[in-house]
Amino acid sequence: MPSTPSSKDRLCRNCGIEIFAHKAKKGLCGQCYPISLRIEQVAKWNVQDPKSLRGFPRAYPRENQDFIERIKSGVIQELRDRLNDLRRWGNPTERELDGTSFECLFNELAMRCKTRSHRPFFGYANIFDHNFNRDQKRMLYSLLSKMLRDIRWHGVNWDQVFLHGRSKA
């Protein structure tokens, strides 16, 4: 009789959310796995192998390995940032939640909604700490992080990639 996977086996290795089917035996959820694959693909970019440059912007020169290395570094950094975001918004049971984590989460949500104020929830940490008990905080954090995870990610921000590439030059 096959053994039932433990609850730890059902968690994504990156973000910690519970998943129903791991992708490609890497233990990653459906959001983390494609980003992980993309990092592996980008890491192989090489001017000597034009087929390896899949996903490299067509409008830019492909002859200069130095240039490709700078762009590769920026793209990988953008993808790792996305994995870090998913990890940050992951399973709230893995960390102690305080008012500051809610302040950051609400500010992140406000930024993604393009509010006028840069950090509209700055200074609200005490409100979250004093008005919500531990279980309420976990539930609220879970709902807000699900909302952030469900906002469509538009992929690599090429402006950031080229800024990263210039700073390395």
Q: How confident is the model at residue 9 (pLDDT cuts 50, 70, 90)?
A: low
Of 74, 91, 76, residue with least CA distance to 35? 76
Q: Report the SS3 class of residue 23.
A: strand
What is the mean predicted confidence (pLDDT) over 81-106? 82
Q: How confident is the model at residue 150 (pLDDT cuts 50, 70, 90)?
A: confident
- Residue 162, C-beta contacts closer than 8 angstroms, at least 6 positions apart: 71, 74
Amino acid identity of residue 168, one-letter, is K
Q: How confident is the model at residue 4 (pLDDT cuts 50, 70, 90)?
A: very low
The Cα 73–Cα 98 span in angstroms is 34
For 97, phi then psi, to 5°, come to -95, 130
Q: How confident is the model at residue 169 (pLDDT cuts 50, 70, 90)?
A: low
- Residue 63, C-beta contacts closer than 8 angstroms, at least 6 positions apart: 47
What is the mean predicted confidence (pLDDT) over 92-119? 83
End-to-end CA distance of the chain: 59
Q: pTM of this prediction?
A: 0.76
What is the mean predicted confidence (pLDDT) over 136-149? 88
The Cα 121–Cα 130 span in angstroms is 15
- Residue 116, C-beta contacts closer than 8 angstroms, at least 6 positions apart: none
Give pLDDT tens digits for 37-58.
999 999 999 888 888 888 888 8
Q: Quickly tell me which residue has 């992140």 as its tokens.
A: 108
